[in-house]
Amino acid sequence: MPRIRPQNVTAAQWSPNGGALGTVDMSHPANNPFGENVFSVPVQRQRLPKDVFKKLQRTLEKGEALDSSLADAVAAAMKDWALEKGATHYTHMFQPLTGLTAEKHDSFFNPAGEGTALAEFSGKELIQGEPDASSFPTGGVRATFEARGYTAWDPTSPAFILENPNGTLLCIPTAFASWTGEALDAKIPLLRSMDALSKSAVRALKLLGDDASERVFTTVGPEQEYFLIDEQYYFERPDLINAGRTLFGAKPPKGHELDDHYFGSIPERVLAFMMESERELAKLGVPIKTRHNEVAPGQYEIAPMFENSNVGSDHQQLTMQILPKVARKYGLICLLHEKPFAGVNGSGKHNNWSMGTDTGVNLLDPGDTPADNLSFLFFCAAVIKAVNRHQGLLRASVANIGQDHRLGANEAPPAIISVFLGAELEKVFEAIVSGEGDPHTPGSFLGLGTPVLPALPKDGGDRNRTSPFAFTGNKFEFRALGSSMSLAFPNTVLNTIAAEAIDELAEVLEGKLSGGGDLAEAVTAVVKEAYADNKQVCFGGDNYSDEWHAEAERRGLKNLRTTPDALPEVLAPATVTAFERYDVLSKRELESRFEVWTEQYASRANIEAETTESMARTMILPAALRYVALLDDADFDSLEGEVRALAEELVAAIGELGAANDYPDGIEGIDLAIYARDNQLAAMDKVRAAADKLEKIVADDLWPLPKYEEMLFIK
């Protein structure tokens, strides 16, 4: 039996561990674990003095800072709750510019003399921590020798308990800033952008006749895609360990051509993993709603219900932490890379984004009355305007090296940002612009300049899975996010550019109303002008087609295919103006992110390139040469010549890659990223092409790597 076949048999064997969920009566409320490890509002109500609880809630509702006495009372209650849950340590969990979360654990217990210790946790310790900031990426905001950084408690995202077989940990969501006050994380800009959008939207709502709403929240509902493979295959692949994706691998005879995996029956081991993951996330208050098989073999999806953007972003980071952790308990590895298998559908993270008031109104819901329609059309037009003006920035917000393999492939939106409105909504906007419409056509334009939307169904048209930014009934689905990405920056961008567009439309509306004009006519005029000026970004057809790419170029839309193409948009004048106007990120803070992201791109490209060279030299080439020797001994000249030619092609490609891996002196920043793309990644493609040809003809028992057909199908 060839070497790898017993491994396949081992990988295919699995039996339930019997210790995950157990059998409980889920109709009994006590057996529902949702939020049991969260210092939630009900827990706060139970544990805080009544006056302290009310003061805390008022403080959070108004977005004000906590005073020290209130913080001390909250800290004391939080400590007691955590100790009862078995916690010995606490951590200020934050989100540095690595894209991941970070934590430093501090013990509750301090020596008290005579061999005893007291559990202490003050309001000061709750509100602020001080991790070393010198080793996190800062993009030049901080020099390496300047180490001081601060974590600041975010009371709008609840604290929670993380469980471990040897104890528990109190986790306090926090922001992370430098000693000089610059944002060193993903949370601070997101919170700033949410405040900015709230102010702009409330201003517009007052013009539209809504005096009740005092705050507007943005919401997200991310759909997380991921792959699962048996862990023994993972540890046999240096490329998966180092890069998170396979750098070699020939297309298997069977992929997803039969469309038999999508929404198919979930394999038993995978379903057991999903159920335990969902239970762990439920304990942390993450409202998971959906699970299913995705298109590619070995690919799955998990999706929560909608939450406000800040909490949803925190919960998404937890989801990306919990999935790999639970997978190991089932002998599986969870892959979050955007394109772990070439030629197979990649993984995204659809970011369903909307705006809602503190009175419970979804501003992107068409509603049932003309007044609702006016508000909806105003905010929808603002979003279209924002996307058109900042299409390059939106593309940059979802840029990373993994995305360069996914965006534009036939399972993901292209790198061209466009808006899909749906047939009925597009008719409405076109009718407003033309001033004409059939009264019997849903969404027509009627009367004296007044838009009337008949009760639109939630789905006002078919879905468009090829669109990067699609209206889907009462929200926009930003489909271009990568599966490994944090939600924070893309939603920071959405909030900021929407705030800018809303303000600009509100200024025009104010002018039209200043002389006592009719509200419906004024809103119609504003919407008409905004849509007419920005409709070039709207497209309802096939975003994959060559015709659309040509048409998009004629319309002046940007096609930023790779990360080095897209990242300069972070520093575009329009970006800097918007972000500084709303105090979301200063130019210096934007420059820091640009530097961090370009460096990360080049570093990851270099890791992939050096891993490719090493694997090709030490694993694949020796296998090919052994097969050449075997054929030579068998006097099989014709096949030996074919393999020898491919081996020589591989050797030449390895030499080219080795030369590319020697960086030219003095190159850095975006120039280094461009060099990596045009030289290292290009040379890697040649090495892979030769290696994948060899995989198809070298004897199976000589091939050193698990193949796609094993990794994707054995569960």
Distance CA 181, CA 196 (A): 19
Distance CA 552, CA 419 (A): 12
pLDDT given for residue 190 in this prediction: 97
Tell me the average pLDDT across 576-602.
97
How do residues 341-360 score in pLDDT, each as one tens digit?
Answer: 999 999 999 999 999 999 99
CB of 350 closer than 8 Å to CB of 410? no
For residue 628, the domain's CATH number is: 1.20.120.1560
Q: Which amino acid is at 420?
A: F
Residue 144 in this model has a pLDDT that exceeds 60: no
- Tell me the three state secondary structure of residue 183: strand
Distance CA 347, CA 608 (A): 19
Same domain, 164 and 241: no
CB of 138 closer than 8 Å to CB of 146? no
Residue 227 in this model has a pLDDT that exceeds 50: yes
pLDDT given for residue 441 in this prediction: 47
Q: Where are the alpha helices (DSSP H) in 535-636?
A: 546-555, 563-566, 573-581, 587-615, 621-633
Proportion of the chain above pLDDT 70, given as a percent: 88
- Tell me the three state secondary structure of residue 375: helix
Bridge partner residues of 419 (DSSP): 469, 538
Q: In degrees rounded to 5, what are phi and psi of residue 221? A: -140, 85
In a domain, 314, yes or no: yes
pLDDT given for residue 445 in this prediction: 46
In a domain, 435, yes or no: yes
Q: Which amino acid is at 278?
A: E
pLDDT given for residue 182 in this prediction: 86
Any idea which of 113-127, 179-193, 410-424, 610-624 has the lowest mean pLDDT?
A: 113-127
In a domain, 25, yes or no: no
Distance CA 477, CA 465 (A): 10
Any idea which of 470-479, 501-510, 614-623 has the lowest mean pLDDT?
A: 470-479
Same domain, 514 and 615: no
Residue 566 in this model has a pLDDT that exceeds 90: yes
Residue 146 in tokens:
């300047």
Same domain, 274 and 342: yes
Same domain, 178 and 198: no
**Model pTM?**
0.93
Residue 325 in this model has a pLDDT that exceeds 60: yes
Distance CA 304, CA 288 (A): 4
Residue 621 in this model has a pLDDT that exceeds 60: yes
In a domain, 250, yes or no: yes
pLDDT given for residue 215 in this prediction: 94
Residue 294 in tokens:
């995705």
Tell me the average pLDDT across 21-27.
66
**135: DSSP letter:** T
Residue 620: domain span: 598-713
In a domain, 10, yes or no: no
Tell me the average pLDDT across 560-570.
96
Positive or negative, the CA dihedral 169, 170, 173, 175 is: negative
Any idea which of 105-119, 554-568, 589-603 has the lowest mean pLDDT?
A: 105-119
Same domain, 539 and 623: no
Distance CA 402, CA 512 (A): 47
Question: Within 13 Å and on the Cβ side, how many CA atoms surround 469?
Answer: 25
Considering the chain, what is the average pLDDT of its residues? 89
Cβ atoms within 10 Å, residue 27: 7
Positive or negative, the CA dihedral 451, 453, 458, 459 is: negative
Label residue 266 exposed, middle or buried (CB < 10 Å: 0-12, 13-18, 19+).
middle
Distance CA 621, CA 613 (A): 10
Closest CA relative to residue 687, chosen from 343, 278, 679: 679
Distance CA 657, CA 651 (A): 10
Q: How confident is the model at residue 443 (pLDDT cuts 50, 70, 90)?
A: very low
pLDDT given for residue 253 in this prediction: 86
Domain boundary among 185, 208, 225: 185
Same domain, 156 and 228: no
Question: In sequence order, which residues have a C-beta less than 8 Å from that of residue 32 and are 6 or more positions away?
Answer: 26, 282
Any idea which of 95-99, 437-441, 469-473, 570-574 has the lowest mean pLDDT?
A: 437-441
Which span out of 2-11, 138-147, 429-438, 449-458 was modeled with the highest average pLDDT?
Answer: 429-438
CB of 437 closer than 8 Å to CB of 431? yes
Same domain, 354 and 401: yes
For residue 105, the domain's CATH number is: 3.10.20.70
Tell me the average pLDDT across 692-703.
96
Any idea which of 133-137, 420-424, 601-605, 647-651 has the lowest mean pLDDT?
A: 133-137
Residue 52 in tokens:
């302290």
Question: In sequence order, which residues have a C-beta less than 8 Å from that of residue 528 and are 6 or more positions away?
Answer: 432, 433
Same domain, 181 and 197: no
Bridge partner residues of 350 (DSSP): 223
Tell me the average pLDDT across 152-171.
92
Q: 251 or 142: whose pLDDT is higher?
A: 251
Which span out of 51-65, 145-159, 489-503 was modeled with the highest average pLDDT?
Answer: 489-503
Closest CA relative to residue 370, chosen from 449, 441, 434, 435: 449
In a domain, 700, yes or no: yes
Same domain, 426 and 511: yes
pLDDT given for residue 440 in this prediction: 39
Same domain, 345 and 311: yes
Q: Which amino acid is at 247?
A: L
Any idea which of 367-371, 569-573, 674-678 has the lowest mean pLDDT?
A: 367-371
- How many structural domains does the chain have? 3
β-pairing verdict for 87-93 and 167-178: parallel
Residue 271 in tokens:
């379903």
Domain boundary among 164, 185, 206: 185
CB of 286 closer than 8 Å to CB of 487? no
CB of 55 closer than 8 Å to CB of 302? no
Residue 684 in tokens:
């890697």
In a domain, 215, yes or no: yes
CB of 310 closer than 8 Å to CB of 191? yes
**Terminus-to-terminus CA distance in the chain, angstroms?**
21
In a domain, 17, yes or no: no
Burial call 159-189: b when 16+ CB within 10 Å, e when fewer: bbbbeeeeebbbbbbbbbbbeeebbbbbbbb
Q: 85 or 178: whose pLDDT is higher?
A: 85
CB of 398 closer than 8 Å to CB of 392? no
Residue count (the chain): 715
Distance CA 433, CA 415 (A): 29
For residue 264, the domain's CATH number is: 3.30.590.10
Same domain, 201 and 174: no
Q: 404 or 142: whose pLDDT is higher?
A: 404
**620: DSSP letter:** I
Residue 45 in this model has a pLDDT that exceeds 80: yes
pLDDT given for residue 48 in this prediction: 92
CB of 635 closer than 8 Å to CB of 711? no
Cα 683 from chain centre: 29
Question: In sequence order, which residues have a C-beta less than 8 Å from that of residue 383 and are 6 or more positions away?
Answer: 364, 419, 476, 498, 501
Same domain, 568 and 615: no
Distance CA 285, CA 456 (A): 33
How do residues 358-386 score in pLDDT, each as one tens digit?
Answer: 999 999 998 776 667 889 999 999 999 99
Residue 675 in tokens:
């060099």
